[in-house]
Structure 1
């Protein structure tokens, strides 16, 4: 499973999570963990990068975002489903938290995000702020 952090999230999160967590999971459970700007120009339209990820042979991608995936515009939703892309959207309450609190909370959530992403395809889940909460399908 590969993970891509959307452009609306701090670029450093992907690298930090990759370095912190990959050796704590089963071998082969996690592939790449990258920020959108590591693979595509920052201004790439969503439909273009979603399609490109979906068309990568042998790669399963999960998107981490705090973006409009809640609304699931028609074409983007169709591409997500067509290629089996999953998305985890940070609940709106995350945006009001200080950077380091958000970072620490993401680290707390990361093992659950990985487990859920590996167990499902085409999932669209909201990640609540509280680690005592549960993913909500969106």
Structure 2
């Protein structure tokens, strides 16, 4: 994929205020709550992102385990970033810190990696997932 700006769609399990802050800094981000009603199935917004060549950011690594959601990731060629997987109930400041600390690399991977892909974003770094 050619380098460029890629919109990242943040899942409902991440704070809309984080998206607001990134938007105010000129970053191409959206929150699912800006597009869909609460309770919209993950498969629906994943396919929406894929149809637009967007990537997703989520805390819900179970997306990769649910057959319909995992199929949507593959079939639509979605790049996915899973923020602080395995960390139970991270504090808001931990979510913000991990996102901001790794934002340049997230943007680089979103714009340059062949899709579909999945990465885990931990407090210490980013690593390929599966």
Give me the TM-score of the superposition, normalised by structure 2. 0.82
Determine the structure 2 residue equivalent to 1:88. 81
Rounded to whole Å, the distance in 1 between the matches of 2:59 and 2:47 is 19
SS of the residue aligned with 1:34?
strand
Rounded to whole Å, the distance in 2 between the matches of 1:81 and 1:36 is 20
Determine the structure 2 residue equivalent to 1:98. 91
Q: Does 1:122 align with 2:116?
A: yes
Residue 80 of structure 1 deviates from its aligned partner by 1.1
Aligned-residue CA RMSD in angstroms?
2.0
User: 1 or 2, which has the higher helix percentage?
Assistant: 1
Is the alpha carbon distance of 1:95 and 1:103 closer, same or farther for their aligned partners in structure 2, counting shifts above 3 Å? farther
Matches within 5 A, 1:72-87: 72-87=65-80
Residue 99 of structure 1 deviates from its aligned partner by 1.5
Gaps of 5+ in 2: 1-5
Q: Does 1:108 align with 2:113?
A: no
Is the alpha carbon distance of 1:96 and 1:48 closer, same or farther for their aligned partners in structure 2, counting shifts above 3 Å? closer
Deviation per CA, 1:84-105: give whole Å up to 9, x if none: 1111001335544431233123
Contact 1:17 1:107 in 2 (8 A): no
Rounded to whole Å, the distance in 1 between the matches of 2:126 and 2:9 is 21
Matches within 5 A, 1:1-138: 1-20=6-25, 22=27, 32-55=28-51, 59-69=52-62, 71-92=64-85, 94-120=87-113, 121-130=115-124, 133-138=125-130
Gaps of 5+ in 1: 23-31
Contact 2:9 2:54 in 1 (8 A): yes
